[in-house]
Every structure is written in C-alpha cells, then in structure tokens.
A and B are shown apart, each in its own frame.
Chain A
Amino acid sequence: NAGVMQNPRHLVRRRGQEARLRCSPMKGHSHVYWYRQLPEEGLKFMVYLQKENIIDESGMPKERFSAEFPKEGPSILRIQQVVRGDSAAYFCASSPPAANTEAFFGQGTRLTVV
C-alpha cells in the first residue's frame, strides 16, 4: 500500500507563473488535506477536501490559491501568479473516513519562487 504521493518534490517558478502541486492519497483514504510550512514555522492548515467537495478552506488565501479533488485523479493545489512569499513546503495528508484518526503525510513539494 503506497503512502501519500506528492509530486513534484521540488518546483521552481518565476514570479507571475502558475504552480500546480499534485497529491495522491493513500488507498482507501477519501479525505485530503493541504498544509503549508513556511521557513522556521509549523504547519499551517490550508484546505480540507473530500472527493469533488471542498469541506473547509478556511486556511486558504482568498486570492490566487485554489484546490480540487476530482472524482478521478489526484488532488491539485493550484497557485496562480506566484510571488516570492509563496515559497514554502507544501504538504498533503490523507486520512480514512473516520473521526479522530491520524493523517498520513506525503513528503511534500518544496516550491521556490525566483
């Protein structure tokens, strides 16, 4: 059973470009979460999705950021018109459809905006 798969591991974008981060949850997991870790900080919740539904996006910046988890395929975190402040490690986690259970994290995508 493969773990949570994120790709790419590293992504370099110029200011103004779009960044697309992908996450395939563990088999059997229907809940996907995206977290961001800025340098020297903890992980900050961004968005929680189930298949075809955004359940909680309270941590997402209002502009330029969007997320989806389609019926087929991976979850995508999209950042449009990236700025230097978007440089961070973005982690995806997944969990089964049960309350109060641990989430399993992918290895993250390190986004660098130059």
Chain B
Amino acid sequence: DQQVKQNSPSLSVQEGRISILNCDYTNSMFDYFLWYKKYPAEGPTFLISISSIKDKNEDGRFTVFLNKSAKHLSLHIVPSQPGDSAVYFCAATYLGNEKLTFGTGTRLTIIP
C-alpha cells in the first residue's frame, strides 16, 4: 500500500527554467510533509517542509505547495541549477506517528 506516490520516476529540465516535482498521498491523517534531496551514495538531505495548516512555504529557490483537498503537493525549484540534479523524495507524517512515509523518488536532471 503506497501511501505516498511520486508518479514521475524522472524529470529533465533546462538550466534556468522551473522544475516542478509532484507528490500525491492517500492517508488523510498526514499533516506534515517534507522534501528530501539525495545524491548517489549519500543520505537524504532535508530540503523544505510544510504543515497542513499552510498551502505554501518558500525558502529561496524552493517552494512547496500543498493542496489538501486533492491530497497533492509539489516542489518548485526556480531557477534550476546543475547542482539540483539529484533524486527528490517526498515524505509525510502526522502528529503521534513520528515515522516518515516516503515516496519512491523522482530523479531530476538539470540540462546545462
């Protein structure tokens, strides 16, 4: 039962353009969502998060949007840079659960 889904296994974007990574979830209890970035042979690195009381959170080039009614969130990276090439994981949790439920990841490639 995949409660967090990232339906695009890969995405290629031109440098300088916007990268949009999508994530859907099925568990209505989830109230806190995170994005992690992972380079090969390294652990995931926290990028940005959003609470369900918000619909948008911005940090520099990264913005996460949450649509609770659609159970959908997205990560926007603008402008995209070569160093953004990595695998991006969406994760979700809820108060009292603590553990993170991860999606399967999207491999983002930024084309110079």
Contacts and interface: CB of A to CB of B under 8 A. Distances in A.
Interface of A: 4, 6, 31, 33, 35, 41-45, 48, 55-56, 59, 91, 93, 95, 99-100, 102-108, 110
A48 B98 contact: yes
B49 to A, nearest CB: 6
A108 B42 contact: yes
Q: What bracket does the count of chain B residues touching chain A fall in?
A: 20 to 34
A42 B99 contact: no
A104 B93 CA distance: 15
Given A105-B45, A107-B42, A55 B103 contact: no
A86 B57 CA distance: 38
B51 to A, nearest CB: 7
Given A105-B43, A108-B43, 19 more contacts: A4-B43, A31-B98, A33-B99, A41-B104, A42-B102, A42-B103, A42-B104, A42-B105, A48-B98, A56-B99, A93-B43, A100-B51, A100-B93, A102-B46, A103-B46, A103-B100, A105-B45, A106-B43, A107-B43
22 contacts: A33-B98, A35-B100, A35-B102, A42-B89, A42-B102, A43-B89, A45-B102, A56-B99, A91-B43, A91-B44, A93-B100, A95-B98, A100-B31, A100-B51, A100-B93, A100-B95, A103-B46, A103-B100, A104-B46, A105-B36, A107-B42, A110-B41
Interface in B52-111: 89, 93-96, 98-105
A91 B105 CA distance: 15
Main secondary structure of the interface of A (DSSP, over half): strand
Nearest to B4: A42
Nearest to B101: A45
